[in-house]
Amino acid sequence: MIIPYILNWTFLYFPEDKREYIPAAITCTIFLIAAILTMRLIIKISKRQEEKAKELEEQLKKDNIVHNEK
């Protein structure tokens, strides 16, 4: 029952002139590069925030030790 539906996909378009793939390949490449750069930026910012959190945790531990000694 689903097989005829799948076989009737007439909206699929495969051009005879393969030069029509060039704009799609360029667009795909641009978005891929943008995604990679965005992911690297997110990782970089995350590491920076992790370092700040560790420093804050160290400071809070030191403050807690000082307050417990008094």
Judge whether 2 lies within some domain: no
Judge whether 33 lies within some domain: yes
For every residue of the chain, which 3-state class applies, written as one string?
A: CHHHHHHCCCCCCCCCCHHHHHHHHHHHHHHHHHHHHHHHHHHHHHHHHHHHHHHHHHHHHHHHHHHHHC
Q: What is the pTM of this model?
A: 0.63
* Domain enclosing residue 35, as ranges: 22-70
Q: What is the mean pLDDT of the chain?
A: 87
Question: What's the alpha-carbon Rg for the chain, to the nearest Å?
Answer: 28
User: For the segment 2-32, what is each residue's pLDDT rounded down to a tens digit?
Assistant: 666 666 666 667 788 989 899 999 999 999 9
Judge whether 10 lies within some domain: no
Counted domains in the chain: 1
pLDDT value, residue 3: 62
Judge whether 16 lies within some domain: no
